[in-house]
């Protein structure tokens, strides 16, 4: 029996590591492809006889030089960071208290209202960009980075509110009641207790909102036409694809530079996303 248990244990460990290796290869391959394409020479990229999975010639920095010196890539990255930071701040300032109010202060109809708010997030952008363009025009924000800063919270806030409602509801109400009995006000319990215990949800909202700013295309393309006001999500495909000419090396370099930090952040905070902060809290 002991030997059978050992065999089952080792078999389970081997299966677990096989699954891990498989997902590591599948998830890491796009980054590997972008990396080798960035350093491939054009003669290597377009020669069908060469092995596409390796560098067949000496690596080159020409694609990176062209990206940084012949395009406004750094300006697009700066615009994205600026817009993403402001959108994240606006989203947190509005979504966190709204989610707490719906989860704790509205009674039975709070859940239905939360679902209604979430449904507004599901309205496709292809239906909204025309009426929103009239709003942007009325505000005088055409061809400005502030146009997307104003528009993006309209769909980051509904989703974030719905998401955070679940985190606040998962926190036992007894903890909050005990804190208020000990002298904290409702606001004090919210700031000192509820927010720290919902850190995983707040981190999820931060990364969701920032990632949306980096990859959103329709609104940025509609509201902004100047190259120096564009974000990465529009600037890279618009100005690195000219007709039927694709600057593959520079495209992959831009994608790698912008996607790698986000991938690292997701990996670092993965445990925070899945960890239950309230386990054993009542005890």
pLDDT tens digits for range 267-277? 777 666 665 44
Specify the pLDDT at position 146. Answer: 93
Using an 8 Å Cβ cutoff, are 208 and 156 in contact? yes
pLDDT score of 63 more than 80: yes
Q: Which of 152-161, 211-220, 261-270 bottoms out in mean pLDDT, i.e. has the lowest?
A: 261-270
Query: Per mean pLDDT, which range of 152-156, 168-172, 257-261 is the poorest?
Result: 168-172
Q: How many CA atoms lie within 13 A of 257 on its CB side?
A: 20
Greatest mean pLDDT range, 42-51, 116-125, 142-151, 237-246: 142-151
Weakest-pLDDT range from 179-183, 186-190, 276-280: 276-280
Instruction: Give the model's pLDDT for residue 122.
Output: 77
- Please tell me the pTM assigned to this model: 0.83
What percent of the chain clears pLDDT 70, i.e. is strictly above it? 90
Higher pLDDT, 136 or 6: 136
Query: Whole-number mean pLDDT of the chain?
Result: 83
Per mean pLDDT, which range of 65-69, 111-115, 167-171, 254-258 is the poorest? Answer: 111-115
pLDDT over threshold 70, residue 279: no
Residue whose C-alpha is closest to residue 156's, from 90, 223, 77: 90
- Choice between 225 and 266, residue whose per-residue pLDDT is larger: 225
- Region 180-190: mean pLDDT is 83
In Å, how far are 197, 198, 200, 209, 272 from 275, measured between CA atoms?
11, 11, 7, 20, 5
Name the residue among 129, 145, 143, 146 with its Cα closest to residue 76: 145
| Least-confidence region, from 164-178, 215-229, 247-261 | 164-178
Are 42 and 249 spatial neighbours (Cβ–Cβ below 8 Å)? yes
């Amino acid at each position: 029996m002991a030997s059978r248990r050992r065999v089952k244990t080792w078999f389970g460990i081997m299966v677990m590591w096989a699954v891990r290796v498989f997902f590591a290869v599948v998830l890491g391959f796009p980054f590997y492809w972008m990396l080798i394409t960035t350093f491939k020479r054009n003669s290597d990229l377009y020669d069908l006889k060469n092995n596409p999975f390796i560098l067949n010639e000496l690596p080159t920095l020409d694609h990176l030089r062209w990206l940084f010196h012949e395009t406004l890539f750094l300006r697009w990255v700066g615009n994205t960071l600026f817009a993403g930071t402001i959108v994240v701040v606006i989203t947190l300032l509005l979504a966190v208290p709204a989610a707490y109010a719906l989860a704790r202060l509205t009674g039975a109809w709070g859940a239905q209202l939360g679902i209604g708010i979430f449904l507004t997030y599901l309205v496709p952008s292809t239906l909204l960009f025309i009426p929103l363009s009239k709003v942007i025009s009325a505000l005088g924000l055409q061809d400005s980075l502030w146009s997307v800063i104003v528009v993006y919270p309209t769909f980051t806030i509904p989703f974030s509110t719905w998401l955070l409602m679940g985190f606040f509801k998962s926190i036992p109400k007894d903890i909050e009641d005990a804190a208020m009995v000990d002298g904290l006000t409702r606001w004090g319990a919210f700031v000192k207790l509820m927010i720290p215990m919902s850190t995983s949800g707040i981190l999820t909202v931060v990364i969701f909102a920032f990632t949306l700013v980096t990859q959103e295309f329709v609104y940025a393309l509609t509201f902004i036409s100047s190259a120096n006001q564009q974000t990465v999500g529009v600037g890279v495909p618009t100005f690195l694809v000219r007709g039927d000419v694709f600057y593959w090396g520079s495209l992959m370099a831009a994608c790698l530079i912008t996607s790698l930090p986000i991938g690292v952040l997701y990996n670092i905070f993965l445990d925070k996303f899945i960890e239950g902060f309230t386990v054993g809290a009542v005890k």
